[in-house]
Structures are given as structure tokens and as C-alpha cells.
Amino acid sequence: MARNASVQTKVGFTVLAWTVALLLFSPILWTIVTAFKTEAEAIATPPTFLPLTFTLDNFGDVQDRSDYIKHAWNSILVSVGSTLLGLVIAIPAAWSMAFAPTKRTKDILMWMLSTKMMPAVGVLIPIYLIFRDLRLLDTVHGLTIIMTLINLPIIIWMLYTYFKEIPVDILEAARMDGAELWNEIVHVLVPMAIPGIASTLLLNVILAWNEAFWTITLTSGRAGTLTAFISSFSSPQGLFLAKLSAASLLAIAPILLLGWFSQKQLVRGLTFGAVK
Amino acid sequence: MATRQTRTLARTMMAPAVIVLLIWMAVPLAMTIWFSFQNYSLINPMMTGFAGWGNYEYVIGDPSFTQALVNTLLLVGGVLLITVIGGTFLALLLDQPIWGQGVLRILVISPFFVMPPVAALIWKNGFMHPGYGMLGHLFKALGLEPVDWFAQYPLFSVIVIVAWQWLPFATLILLTALQSLSEEQREAAEMDGANAVNRFRYIILPHMARAITIVILIQTIFLLGIFAEIRVTTGGGPGYASTNIAFLVFRTGILSNDIGAGSAGGVVAVIIANIVAIFLMRAVGKNLDA
């Protein structure tokens, strides 16, 4: 507020802000340092902050015990696969809503948003039974389909808000030049909307990566993603806090990094373009 | 550009998205409603036939349902309260002239990227464990008895974890809204002699109203379905102390294999979500048009 603040107020606010931010970050920070401790040191009283004996053993143990790499690969397949599939369905839909709107466009958009409000538990049992009968339980492609459907409304909404900002004249000029619709979308619209499509992609990969309802209920060993991988650590045996921390760190690190890069686009995506 | 040809084209382009979403909504939901009126158990094949309202009476009549409903409301309400108030405070704080704003933003937003089961497990073991959790150490250092959070305050503990995950979201969106407030407006208010409280009350808060509504709407959608945090910490217990509607349906339908009763619970969950959604859409719709 007070733009010409004195140095004292600035110091005061800085200290306060850093204290709060570090408190909020402390569970993650604690997980990071604990991941490099020995099991004995991880539960020692009084606790140490930085590891006294720095070890990488926990990461190897986690890989041996629960096969991190397989689960991470499944997570990548499902989150990237579902997002790409979603984009293929959503780009034409968003194009027609943004550039050839009808009276009903707004209603359709609101209806799509409302499908997000249907609680997953409301359809869990039929989906579970359908998956069982079609042998889709515990498969990567089955999970990818579900994830596509869950995130499709968000993908369409995000693309729609980005497409709306592209001047319609440019598309019309291309059309006058005799460009086919397909060419218009692929060669004119998509290149102009690359930043928007990229942030849509990023946000949806993050959402799919962290989705923990369907991944836990529909998979077990074979197609388990990282959310299922980490849930297997919920009933621990013996000394485990350091291993749990290592597993947690491995599960969140990739998306934490992606998230830091995409935080600006995140607001717009998560609010369906309502806050920019 | 509204020639008939483009209109037909536009419909064709939209068709795949509309059709898959329509199927995704209608088919499983219709099946859930159908199952909810059947006697259907995966462990007892003798249980068949039309059940009438039996499953609903069984689910709603059970004390666990009332508790799950109350827990759901407490969970959603508690988290909303913490995140909206905390988020407003944090957004105001981060908007001040401070050193290291970029790094601070990253630290504050980070919990949002932590997947729910990880968030739950690091809180459960690293923080709230009475033996070696951070809070346990802290209590011991202060000469207090460490608290076994999940045994004594199960629902409260879940609320804390979920609020930690969603506080960054609220903060980020409110901060974005705050930063779109024009400099002139603030300075004008300052020159008119408005003090900090009045500036907040009459200028900043009205400006953020829309963003706050959106935060509430979007969080509610996600909070009604909280599942993983409960699954990996308390398993809904002790008893039903931390079971919400979502977890109750999972417990009945999948863990106890009672498809009929689980489906009835699912239908009830959909109805509750719809009631909430209608209110929210109306509130947001009003705010969005303005």
C-alpha cells in the first residue's frame, strides 16, 4: 500500500513475510533434509536439522522396495497422455466456442464446468464395475481415459479463454485466402495460441500427476502411479521415516519444479480465466 | 462469420467434446441410480432383486451417515475459513514492498504442488507423530505432553493438512487480484486521508470480492471430494470420526462390497454437491456478470 515506505517498515514486512513463508514451506523442507538422514537419525531426540551423516541409501531402498521408476513412468504416461488426448478433443471445441459462438455457447460452457462438480464417488462404483468387466482395472490406458474425462472441462475452458483473445480478423483473413478449416486451425490458430496451449498443457499435467482418487481406487500393482506408490507407505514397518521422506521427495520433485515455472499461468487456468 | 456452413462446422467440431462429456456424466450416474435401488452385494450373490428405498434407508438411517455429513461440512467449512482468511492476510503481506518477493512466492505456492497422499504422510509422520514428529519435539521442548493428533483430534488434523494444501491456491489468486488494483486508486484513497483499515474495508475488500467468490467456488468443488488425505492418515477413523461422505461411499461400496448401499450413498453425495453447486453458481454468476 504505502509505496514510499520507510526502510524500517520494509524490514519489518520482510521479516514477517519470510517467517510465514518458511513456516508454510517447513513440511517440505523437513522432508528434503530427512530424506538424506539415516533412519536412526531421522527419529532421534533431540532432532537434527541438517543430516549429521549424509546418506543416499534411502533412495536406493525406496527403489528396491517399491519400484519408484515404474510408478514414475506410469505417472508420466497417464498425465502427459491424458493431457494430449484432452487437447486433441478440446482444441476444435474451444475453436468453435470462441470463433463461432451461438446462443447456447455460454450454457454449454457452464454445463461443462458443472460436470466438474459431480463428485467422483457418485460414479465410482459403476466405473469400477465397468472397468472390471472390460479388464481396464489396473491398466495405464484405462486410467488415461478417466483422467482425460476429468480434466477435459478445464482444458476446454482454459483454451477458450486464451482463444477469445486472438483477433478474429486474422482467422477470417486466412479463410478469405481460401485456407481450409483444418489448415486454419493447425497453421494459423495453433501457432498464435502456443503460449495458451502450453500453459494449459502444463497445468493439466500437474493436476493429473497429483490426482489421487481414481489412481488409488482403480490401480494396484501394475499401473499404479506415484500417488498409489506413496500410499503404499501409509502403513509403515519399523524404521522408515527417512525412507518415507525419500519416497515423498522423489514423488513431488518433478512437479514441484514444473509448478515453480508455471505459477503465473496457474491462476488463470485454475480460475477458468476469471482472474488474470 | 455466421454462415450456415460455419455453424454446421462449429457444431461438428464441438461434438466430440460434448458427446464424451455427456456419456461420462450420464451413463455412470444412471448406473449409480439403478444400483441404488437394487440388492447387490459382491460377496453375497444371494442378495438380488429390487430393493425399493431400502438402500437409502440403510445408508441414511445409519448413524455413520449423519456423522459423515457433519464431518464433510466441518471439513469444507473449516478449510474455507482458514484459507480465505489466511490467504487474504498472506496476499496483503506479499503485496507489501519486501525483499525477495520472487523466492517468497515460490515458497508459499509450493504446498499446492504436493500430491495429496504425500502431503498427508509428511504431516502424519514428520510433523504430527507423537514420538518423532516435529510438533512432538516442540511440545517436549516446551515441557508439554506430545499430542497424538490423529487419535485425539482426527478431523481437525485432516483439516490442518488440507488447509495447508489449499492456502497457497487462495493466496496466489487473491494476490493476483490485489495486484490488479490500480495504483491511482490506492494513492487517491491515501491522499484523502483514509487509514489502513478503511482502505482495506472500502477499497481493497470490494475489489477482491470476485476473486474470493471464485476461490470459494473452486475450493468447494475439490473439498467435497477429499479422499486421499483421509485414506492414508486415519482411514476414516477412529470409528467414523474422520469419515466424510466421499470416504463413506468408498468404505461401503468398495471396502464392504455393498454395491447397492454404496450407490445410494453416491447418489446422496451427488445431490449434496448439486445443492452446493446451485448456490455457488448463482453467487458466482452474479459476481461474474458485474
Nearest to B24 by CA among A146, A17, A228: A146
Say which range, B1-5, B67-71, B98-102, has the weakest mean pLDDT.
Answer: B1-5
A234 inside 8 A of chain B by CB: yes
pLDDT at A118 (0 to 100): 76
Percent of chain B with pLDDT over 70: 95
pLDDT at A1 (0 to 100): 46
pLDDT at B290 (0 to 100): 39
Is B17 in Cβ contact with A90 (below 8 Å)? yes
* Tens-place pLDDT, residues A181-235: 777 778 888 888 888 888 888 888 988 998 888 988 888 878 888 888 888 877 6
Res B3 pLDDT > 70: no
Res B234 pLDDT > 80: yes
Preceding peptide of A46 cis, ω within 30°: yes
Residue B42 lies in a domain: no
Helices (H), chain A: 7-35, 39-42, 57-66, 68-99, 105-115, 121-133, 140-163, 168-176, 181-183, 190-192, 194-210, 214-218, 226-231, 241-270
Q: Cell digits for B136?
A: 512432538
Residue among B1, B99, B250 minimizing CB distance to A14 = B99
Residue B253 lies in a domain: yes
Is B106 in Cβ contact with A100 (below 8 Å)? no
Handedness of CA A219, A224, A230, A236 (dihedral sign): positive
Per-residue burial over B191-218, b if 16 or more Cβ lie within 10 Å, else e, is: eeebeeeebeeebbeebbebbbbbbbbb
Longest dimension (CA), chain B: 79
Q: What is the pTM of this model?
A: 0.86
pLDDT at A236 (0 to 100): 61
Residue B31 lies in a domain: no
Residue B47 lies in a domain: no
Average pLDDT, stretch A10-27?
91
Residue B265 lies in a domain: yes
- Ordered by where they begin, the domains of chain A are 7-55 (no CATH), 67-232 (1.10.3720.10)
For residues A143 and A188, give the distance between their C-alpha atoms in angstroms, rounded to a whole number.
33
Q: How many domains does chain B have?
A: 1
Is A46 in Cβ contact with B137 (below 8 Å)? yes
* Tens-place pLDDT, residues B151-160: 888 999 999 9
Residue B218 lies in a domain: yes
Residue of A nearest to B166 (CA): A24
Preceding peptide of B238 cis, ω within 30°: yes
Query: Could you tell me which residues are beta bridge partners of residue B258?
Result: B41
* Tens-place pLDDT, residues A126-135: 898 899 999 9
pLDDT at A2 (0 to 100): 46
CATH code assigned at B166: 1.10.3720.10
Residue B3 lies in a domain: no
Residue B41 lies in a domain: no
Residue among A241, A260, A267 minimizing CB distance to B176 = A267
Q: List, as ranges, residues 200-229 from A with C-beta within 8 Å of B.
A: 206, 209-210, 212-213, 216-217, 226-227
Per-residue burial over B100-109, b if 16 or more Cβ lie within 10 Å, else e, is: eeeebbbbbb
* Tens-place pLDDT, residues A48-78: 788 888 888 888 888 888 888 999 999 999 9
B127 inside 8 A of chain A by CB: yes
- The count of other CB atoms within 10 Å of the CB of residue A4 is 6
Query: A6's torsion region: left (phi>0), alpha (psi -120 to 50) or beta?
Result: beta
For residues A256 and B109, give the distance between their C-alpha atoms in angstroms, rounded to a whole number.
10
Is A119 in Cβ contact with B246 (below 8 Å)? yes
Is B141 in Cβ contact with A28 (below 8 Å)? no
Percent of chain A with pLDDT over 90: 23
Mean pLDDT for chain B overall: 84
Res A101 pLDDT > 70: yes
Which residue in the block uniquely carries the three cell numbers 471396502? B255
Mean pLDDT for chain A overall: 84
Helix axes B101-109, A241-270, angle to 10 degrees: 110
A16 inside 8 A of chain B by CB: yes
A48 inside 8 A of chain B by CB: no
Residue among A92, A213, A255 minimizing CB distance to B227 = A213
Q: What are phi and psi of A235, to 5 degrees?
A: -115, 90
| Rg (chain B; Cα; Å) | 24
Q: How would residue A4 be classed by pLDDT, with cut points 50, 70 and 90? A: low
Q: How would residue B163 be classed by pLDDT, with cut points 50, 70 and 90? A: very high
Q: How would residue A276 be classed by pLDDT, with cut points 50, 70 and 90? A: low
- The count of other CB atoms within 10 Å of the CB of residue B280 is 18
Q: Cell digits for B186?
A: 490506492
- The count of other CB atoms within 10 Å of the CB of residue A271 is 24
Residue among A1, A17, A21 minimizing CB distance to B186 = A1
Is A114 in Cβ contact with B281 (below 8 Å)? yes
Residue among A10, A24, A34 minimizing CB distance to B107 = A24
> Number of Cβ pairs closer than 8 Å across A and B?
307
Query: Could you tell me which residues are beta bridge partners of residue B41?
Result: B258
3-state SS assignment for residue A46: coil
Domain that holds residue B139: 63-289
